Structure 1
Amino acid sequence: MSDEEVGARERHETPAQSADRRWSDLTQEVRIAQTGSQIMFGFLLSVAFTDRFARLHGFDRGLYVVVVILGALATGTLIAPVTYHRLLAGHHVKSQMVGAVSQLVAVGVCLLAAAIGAALLLLLRVAGLGWAAWPIVAAVLVWFALCWLALPLLLRRRDAPSRDDEAPPGGASR
């Protein structure tokens, strides 16, 4: 039995109610990442129209292009739940939609982390840090991996009862 099914059973939810709750949770979560990616992407687009941008050459100019592409991909991926909902609403596929959109959000957050890392690298290089920028960016990306992935997975693993410890409803043993 999946974690979602166990959670729905514990809440006494129907599958439709569980899908509705999970969709609501997912849309609340994605709003934060969407907003951040959109703001960052907007700023990135405006950089190309500054005097300082004209002085970027070689690696830094290429890095800027990579940052903009990553920002566009992250923004598009994190906006995708809107189109999923618009195209699939009323087609009775919410449970499948929640699973697909959850995967898209995970990809979008990874793209956003890559865009932030590349943007930070560009900023630190332009600020004059040169090669020292690389370990700083690496440390920031490790921090993201810890905060966004390792710690939640550790918490889930630590607090999840083992399947052997779970008793079926009614207290009967297996």
Structure 2
Amino acid sequence: MAASLPAEAPLRNETPLERDDRNFAELLQELRVLQTGVQILFAFLLTLAFTPRFPSLDAAQRGIYVVTLLLAVSAAMLFTAPAALHRVLFRRGVKRTIVDVSSRLAGIGMAVLALALTGSVLLISDVVLGRTAGIATGVGVLAGCAGLWAAMPWWLRRVLCGGRQGPGRTPTGTTGPAGTTETPGTTGRG
């Protein structure tokens, strides 16, 4: 199925401040979905150490467990950091910076979450099916995350958007009224 190219996307009739507010609200909605998954994974991992079978894990399995637990908590920290960032910088006139930094934190968090999911599946599959099957399923999970979370969106952006940054956006800032350029961190109330 070939992707169709959209007509030029109509520009929204919004100010840079309104765009930043909308972008931050959309990012927070995405983070809510991700945080729920991370919280469930983290809770699951915390309970594993208290199960009767946990003492029988070998050194490699315990290592995978600890690394995966730390990855899950790291993902949780990365996904909650935008709220703390917003709280500290609230009403400081740097909403664009909050949006940009929060977006980067979310991207890094998704990469860390992919590793945490991989580690948890690797551990469970290793215990249930053996080391070779554990590694194979872990690689499959990592490939699935990379494909769905990175390769597919990048490919769609390239095909559907021709690599454009988006309406009114440039890599170094936003294009404001009358073609003026505003650098990140100079717009918004927070």
Report the TM-score, using the length of structure 1 for normalisation. 0.85
1:14 alignment partner in structure 2: 15
- The RMSD of aligned alpha carbons is 2.0
Q: For residues 53-98 of structure 1, what are the alpha-carbon distances to aligned partners after superposition, in whole Å with 9 as ceiling and x for unaligned?
A: 1111211111111111111111111111110111111111111110
Moved more, 125-134 or 114-123: 125-134
Moved more, 146-155 or 19-28: 146-155
CA separation of 1:110/1:162 partners in 2, compared to 1, >3 Å: closer, same or farther?
closer
Matches within 5 A, 1:109-148: 109-148=110-149
CA separation of 1:162/1:126 partners in 2, compared to 1, >3 Å: closer, same or farther?
closer
Instruction: Tell me if 1:39 matches 2:40.
Output: yes
Using the TM superposition, give the Cα deviation of residue 128 of structure 1 relative to its aligned residue in structure 2, in angstroms.
2.6
In structure 2, list runs of 5 or more residues that go unmatched: 1-7, 168-190
Distance 2:12 2:129 in 1: 55
Distance 1:122 1:35 in 2: 21
Query: Residue 129 of structure 2: SS of its match in structure 1?
Result: coil
Instruction: Tell me if 1:100 matches 2:101.
Output: yes
Distance 2:19 2:51 in 1: 49
2:53 alignment partner in structure 1: 52
Deviating 4+ runs (over 6 angstroms): none
Query: Residue 42 of structure 1: SS of its match in structure 2?
Result: helix
Distance 1:157 1:109 in 2: 21
Q: For residues 97-126 of structure 1, what are the alpha-carbon distances to aligned partners after superposition, in whole Å with 9 as ceiling and x for unaligned?
A: 100000000011111000000110000011
Equivalent residue pairs, number: 158
Distance 1:152 1:63 in 2: 29
CA separation of 1:135/1:91 partners in 2, compared to 1, >3 Å: closer, same or farther?
same
1:65 alignment partner in structure 2: 66
Distance 1:139 1:124 in 2: 12
Q: Which has the higher contact order (CA 8 A, sep 6+)?
A: 2
More helix by share: 1
Using the TM superposition, give the Cα deviation of residue 162 of structure 1 relative to its aligned residue in structure 2, in angstroms.
7.2
Distance 1:14 1:107 in 2: 28
Distance 2:158 2:34 in 1: 25
Moved more, 95-104 or 77-86: 77-86
1:172 alignment partner in structure 2: none
Query: Residue 49 of structure 1: SS of its match in structure 2?
Result: coil
Report the TM-score, using the length of structure 2 for normalisation. 0.78
Contact kept? 2:68, 2:116, Cα under 8 Å: yes
Contact kept? 2:121, 2:141, Cα under 8 Å: no
